């Protein structure tokens, strides 16, 4: 690969990757070359993975915020769309600062959240409330 062709290939790759990441983080419409459904599924999966990652560092957050936890993470992701470059620990620490200084919780019921995220929420909750979820199956 010549230097010119490598530079061009990197530029094109950067453009494609930027489009996909921004779409996955709900910052702009999906790229033409990727299916809308797949982007929606992957985007939701990214948010939930981030929520689980934070909960793993601070399980008490689930107990404290209960059914509004996922909304808080969603609000956090709107302010900070990308995970912290230093990794999950730093992202969780930043989330705590966001809760302390920047979040305002909108009221919503557990049932509404359940309708939105289905059994994923059970999964997150089961970590903090094992007794409640022992009888529930995914």
Partner 1 sequence: MTKLGIGWRPEIARMIEKRDDLDFVEIVAENWSPDHPPQALVDLHERGVQVIPHGISLSLGSAELPDLTRLQRLNAFASRFGSPFVSEHVAFVRGAGLESGHLLPVPRTEAATQVLIENILFAKKHLTVPLVLENIAYLCEWGNSEMSEPEFIREILEATDSMMLLDVANLVANAINHDFDPIAYLRRIPLDRVAYVHIAGGIVIDGIYHDTHAHPVSPTVLDVVSKLTLFTAPPMVMLERDDLFPNESVINMELDAIKHAVQPKLIREAIFA
Residues that bind partner 1 (CB under 8 A): 1, 5-6, 8-14, 16-18, 20-22, 24-25, 32-35, 38-39, 41-42, 45-46, 49-50, 52-53, 56, 81-85, 87-89, 91, 118-120, 123, 126-127, 138
Instruction: Provide, rounded to whole angstroms, the least separation between the CB of residue 107 and partner 1.
Output: 27
Q: Over 5-57, what HEC string results?
A: HHHHHHHHHHHHHHHHHHHHCCCCCCCCCCCHHHHHHHHHHHHHHHHHHHHHH
Nearer to partner 1, 12 or 78 (CB): 12
Instruction: Provide, rounded to whole angstroms, the least separation between the CB of residue 116 and partner 1.
Output: 13
Instruction: Provide, rounded to whole angstroms, the least separation between the CB of residue 131 and partner 1.
Output: 15
CA–CA dist 106, 113 (Å, integer)? 12
User: What number of residues does the chain have?
Assistant: 138
């Amino acid at each position: 690969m010549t230097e010119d062709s490598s530079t061009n290939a990197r530029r094109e790759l950067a453009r494609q990757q930027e489009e996909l990441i921004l779409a996955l983080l709900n910052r702009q419409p999906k790229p033409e070359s990727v299916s809308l459904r797949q982007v929606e599924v992957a985007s939701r999966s990214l948010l939930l993975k981030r929520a689980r990652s934070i909960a793993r560092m601070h399980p008490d957050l689930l107990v404290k915020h209960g059914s509004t936890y996922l909304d808080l993470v969603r609000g956090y992701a709107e302010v900070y769309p990308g995970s912290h470059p230093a990794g999950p620990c730093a992202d969780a620490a930043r989330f705590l600062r966001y809760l302390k200084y920047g979040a305002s919780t909108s009221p919503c019921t557990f049932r509404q959240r359940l309708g939105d995220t289905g059994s994923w929420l059970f999964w997150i909750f089961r970590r903090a409330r094992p007794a409640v979820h022992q009888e529930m199956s995914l």
